[in-house]
């Protein structure tokens, strides 16, 4: 492969990753017009349109998506090989890491690590992409991914990020005064339950319960379904119903008395968020520095 061909492929991946010619050009250190010309040359050479362009967005065409699926893992391997050779023994880690994570994990568990990590390793840059859908880390062009539970594929290594988590059923004192307090999960059918809907798949987040080996999955009906947890927290604080949220999302409101924790004996802790990365990447200095940073003792507020 000639250098110009490699540069064209790298440019194509950058445009898709950044979703913009302007942002991709800035990342690559070239002008947007030069980048556009590079992509045009690639499309002419392959005789296929790779990108759908509008005045507001750019996205891969069907052919572009197929190319991207095969191309990103290959380019990641090339980058890893070059980084390994270029890294001077004993030199501080350097390079760029792309991390995919659900928004709640990124905001509550990843974000507190970013500042200290970047201050410790100024030669490493991070690209954080939030996505609720399960993503193939290598196939999606990422170096690391974050998901609930320790159940990686055989070719992935899992590192605990958050510790165990707990879901909480909560309502405001005003709501409970007006509508009463549910004492079992089955009682929820008589209440106004506010639901979280996954933005990607459209399915409602399940209300799962367990006590003494008995497991229940309660079908919830209510006046509100949202894809934004912070919005759900605000609505339940205003007394509109009962919600099922992560403990860290409602902890301070329970402590202050603005929310009441319900059915506590029915919501045991469960395995939390884990950081995943391909086994063959474990020796890369920048990636290993980030993994080691995550492995430090979990913060008390986790």
Q: What is the DSSP letter of 281?
A: G
- What does the pLDDT look like over 70-129, one tens digit per residue? 887 777 777 666 666 655 666 788 888 999 998 889 998 999 999 999 999 999 999 999
Q: Where are the alpha helices (DSSP H) in 110-203?
A: 111-120, 173-179
- What does the pLDDT look like over 173-220, one tens digit per residue? 999 999 999 999 999 999 999 998 876 656 788 899 999 889 998 888
Mean pLDDT of the chain: 86
Neighbour-count burial for 90-101, b at 16+ CB within 10 Å, e otherwise:
eeebbbebbbbb
Please give the Cα distance from 87 to 125 (Å, whole number). Answer: 15
Quick one: angle between helices 32-46 and 3-18, nearest 10? 110
Domains of the chain: 1-68 (1.10.10.10), 87-163+271-302 (3.40.190.10), 167-266 (3.40.190.10)
Residue 143 has pLDDT above 80, yes or no: yes
Residue that the structure tokens 């990636």 belong to = 287
């Amino acid at each position: 492969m000639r250098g110009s061909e490699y540069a064209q492929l790298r440019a194509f991946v950058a445009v898709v990753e950044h979703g913009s010619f302007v942002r991709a050009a800035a990342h690559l250190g070239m002008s947007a017009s030069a980048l556009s010309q590079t992509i045009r040359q690639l499309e002419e050479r392959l005789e296929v349109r790779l990108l759908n362009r509008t005045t507001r967005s750019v996205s891969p065409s069907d052919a572009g998506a197929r190319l991207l699926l095969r191309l990103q893992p290959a380019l990641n391997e090339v980058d890893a090989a070059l980084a390994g050779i270029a890294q001077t023994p004993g030199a501080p880690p350097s390079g760029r890491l792309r991390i995919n994570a659900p928004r709640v994990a990124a905001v509550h568990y990843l974000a507190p690590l970013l500042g200290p990590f970047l201050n410790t390793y100024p030669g490493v840059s991070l690209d954080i992409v939030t996505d609720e859908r399960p993503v193939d880390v290598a196939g999606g062009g990422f170096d690391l991914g974050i998901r609930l539970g320790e159940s990686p594929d055989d070719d992935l290594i899992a590192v605990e990020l958050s510790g165990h988590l707990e879901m909480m059923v909560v309502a405001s004192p005003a709501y409970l005064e007006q509508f009463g307090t549910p004492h079992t999960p089955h009682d929820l059918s008589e209440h106004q339950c506010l639901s979280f809907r996954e933005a990607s798949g459209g399915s409602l987040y399940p209300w799962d319960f367990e006590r003494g080996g008995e497991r229940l999955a309660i079908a919830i009906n209510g006046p509100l379904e949202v894809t934004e947890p912070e919005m759900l927290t605000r609505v339940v604080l205003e007394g509109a119903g009962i919600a099922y949220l992560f403990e860290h999302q409602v902890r301070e409101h329970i402590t202050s008395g603005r929310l009441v924790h319900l059915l506590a004996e029915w919501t045991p802790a469960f395995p939390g968020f884990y950081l995943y990365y391909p086994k063959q990447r474990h020796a890369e200095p920048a990636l290993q520095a980030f993994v080691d940073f995550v492995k430090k003792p979990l913060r008390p507020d986790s």
